[in-house]
Amino acid sequence: MPIYYVNNKAQLNGDHEVHKAGCTWMPSDKKSLGEHIGCSTAVASAKKIYPKADGCKTCANACHTG
């Protein structure tokens, strides 16, 4: 299962993006969310830390809401 991370720094819209290990846009300031079957459970886990979490458009597009 892939490892997911959440960006500790919010984007301009307030979202904290969730990235899959190996993503081109992986931030340096991140927190590991551990292994997840897919982005939906990773985003749900990130929302426990940052209520405005969203999937990365590149590596977690199925969970990217804008």
**What is the pTM assigned to this prediction?**
0.95
Three-state secondary structure call for residue 47:
helix
- Please count the residues of the chain: 66
Residues 6+ apart with CB under 8 A from 12: none
For the segment 31-62, what is each residue's pLDDT rounded down to a tens digit? 999 999 999 999 999 999 999 999 999 999 99
For the segment 7-25, what is each residue's pLDDT rounded down to a tens digit? 999 999 999 999 999 999 9
| Cβ atoms within 10 Å, residue 46 | 28
